Amino acid sequence: SALTASQIREAFLQFFEERAHRRVASSSLVPVGDQTLLFTNAGMVQFKDVFTGREQRDYRRATTSQKCVRAGGKHNDLDNVGYTARHHTFFEMLGNFSFGDYFKADAISFAWEFVTKRLGLAIDRLAVTVFNGENNIPWDEEAFELWAKQGVSRDRILKLGYKDNFWAMGDTGPCGPCSEIHYHQGDDIPCVEEAAGRKCQGVACDCDRWLEIWNLVFMQFERKEKDAPLIPLPKPSIDTGAGLERIASVVQGKRSNYDTDLFQGILATVSQLCGKPYTQETGASQRVVADHARATAFLVADGVQPSNVARGYVLRRIMRRAIRHGDQQLGIKEPFFFKVVDRVIELMGDAFPELRDGRTFILEVAKHEEEGFRRTLDRGLKLMDEELSKLQASGGKMISGDVVYLLHGTYGFPWDLTQIIARERGYDVDLEGFKVLQEKEAASQDFHGEKKSTTEVFQTVLARSAPTQFLGYEGEGHEGEGS
Ligand code: ATP
Ligand code: MG
Ligand code: MG
Ligand code: MG
């Protein structure tokens, strides 16, 4: 039978150990000494300074399975979760790294050997991409020829642009072209582009027909100053990342990450808790809950707690999104989320002892947050009722951006929920006004330090809006606790 996700993780690390890579433990989801980043979002994060040469290690090849979260900042997959078969907020990224040691030829042959020989994936389902050349940077003919040498058919080596196939650490620093390995899941899968009357973009498409499983970054240039021309690095490096959940899905012959052994146990618990089977209708919400329970368990284990600022605020949004799906879509009216989180700990505690060590605390945090949110959920709905009756009295048809923003930030009502409820009752919401406020908030976020407290942001909003009952806002960290 097919390899389990744990077996795949181990097979990957062993494969690269056999090729002289040092097995290095995953770093924390909270980047150590890096104020520019919200969460660790790729395997290379713990090696940033090694790539730039600022830090030396006693090895030049490494392999990891890195805990990653992409739910805020530059990589934000939060809204995709539940609705694509391949995105998570928390996932594991398998990777191999060369710090000025081997380069493209080995990186490509290692990856191809692992995928086709060790995992045994069918070659006729695979395609690879190379950088097509854009922005005065030449196309990656070298990579193209190296893939062809591995036996990849030339019509399965596709050229993609800067957006998908060029990587840069930042405005300055190391950068270079990438190659991605994609797996064909099937053309009968619905495509978002086709649904909109356009053509499916194949490997470049946002749909789930072609699944990107592995990204190989060839760090061969450096940019000394923003927008300055690229200069070749004397010792080019390799950084690769392959999502374990995606690899598991193709190895296990599934079309969705959620159908793999990594998620089946968690989804079974969600289904049991809501008393509803996993169907087309309940699936998205059950997936949201399962995914967000993983993120919660791992983030709290790594020291993040739900709050109204920076990392804690992202965690709070993740937790509340899950709880809201449980409450509204799945009909669970009692605190349940901590039970799903507990299942995650039970299933993943062997591979990640920090989950087991932190279990009591993690569960307490999850339970406390849900109890608080359930109190605000009621207050938020009440607030909306009041707002709607005011609109009715004045003959207005649109809930103002300020109110959407307040519900979103203070009561944990995502704008789309406000919109759904409003529309049910024949009203609309001022999304434009809401977005303006959100952008203002984003501008006030400074990931070089903590973002401005949400209280401050709300006070600004309140100061500008007409006096309303919202002036009773309790302040940071007290939602749901007040009278
Ligand atoms: P996509 O285009 O599908 O969003 P990406 O190009 O943003 O993926 P990379 O930044 O190249 O992803 O990350 C390397 C690998 O990590 C990907 O090839 C994929 O296997 C995995 N990966 C990336 N984002 C996620 C996610 N949100 N959930 C699960 N796996 C992911
Ligand atoms: Mg992405
Ligand atoms: Mg991509
Ligand atoms: Mg990629």
Checking if the pLDDT of 450 tops 70, the result is no
Tokens representing residue 66 in the block: 């890195």
Q: Which of 1-5, 420-424, 446-450 has the lowest mean pLDDT?
A: 446-450
Query: 328's torsion region: left (phi>0), alpha (psi -120 to 50) or beta?
Result: alpha
pLDDT band at 458 (very low <50, low <70, confident <90, very high): very low
Question: Across residues 53-71, what is the average pLDDT?
Answer: 96
Checking if the pLDDT of 483 tops 60, the result is no
Give the Cα separation of 450 and 448 in Å (integer).
Answer: 7
ipTM above 0.95, yes or no: yes
pLDDT band at 149 (very low <50, low <70, confident <90, very high): very high
Pairing outcome for strands 231-243 and 210-223: antiparallel
Q: How far is the CA of 164 from the centre of ligand 4 (A)?
A: 6
Q: Does ligand 1 come within 6 angstroms of the Cβ of 95? A: no
Given this model, what pLDDT does residue 456 score?
40
Q: Which of 89-98, 160-169, 434-443 has the lowest mean pLDDT?
A: 434-443
Given this model, what pLDDT does residue 445 score?
57
pLDDT band at 416 (very low <50, low <70, confident <90, very high): low
Q: For residue range 304-334, list pLDDT tens digits in order.
A: 999 877 899 899 989 998 998 999 899 999 9
Checking if the pLDDT of 473 tops 80, the result is no
Tokens representing residue 402 in the block: 């300020």
Checking if the pLDDT of 45 tops 90, the result is yes
Checking if the pLDDT of 463 tops 50, the result is no
Q: Ion ligand 4 — residues with CB under 5 Å?
A: 215
Q: For residue range 248-267, list pLDDT tens digits in order.
A: 999 999 999 999 999 999 99
Given this model, what pLDDT does residue 414 score?
67
Which residue is closest in CA terms to ligand 1's atom 24? 87
Q: Which residue has the higher pLDDT, 272 or 460?
A: 272
Q: Which residue has the higher pLDDT, 410 or 145?
A: 145
Q: Does ligand 1 come within 6 angstroms of the Cβ of 242? A: yes
pLDDT band at 284 (very low <50, low <70, confident <90, very high): very high
Per-chain mean pLDDT for the chain: 89
Q: Does ligand 1 come within 6 angstroms of the Cβ of 245? A: yes
Checking if the pLDDT of 469 tops 90, the result is no
CATH architecture label of 5-251:
2-Layer Sandwich (3.30)
Given this model, what pLDDT does residue 418 score?
81
Give the Cα separation of 331 and 323 in Å (integer).
Answer: 10
Give the Cα separation of 278 and 92 in Å (integer).
Answer: 24
Given this model, what pLDDT does residue 438 score?
83
Q: Beta-carbon neighbour count of residue 279 at 10 Å?
A: 9
Given this model, what pLDDT does residue 251 score?
98
Instruction: Tell me if 246 sits within 8 A of 211, measured CB to CB.
Output: yes
Question: Across residues 22-46, what is the average pLDDT?
Answer: 93
Give the Cα separation of 184 and 172 in Å (integer).
Answer: 35
Q: Does ligand 1 come within 6 angstroms of the Cβ of 288? A: no
Given this model, what pLDDT does residue 432 score?
94
Tokens representing residue 11 in the block: 């097979």
Given this model, what pLDDT does residue 366 score?
98
Q: Does ligand 1 come within 6 angstroms of the Cβ of 131? A: no
Checking if the pLDDT of 93 tops 50, the result is yes
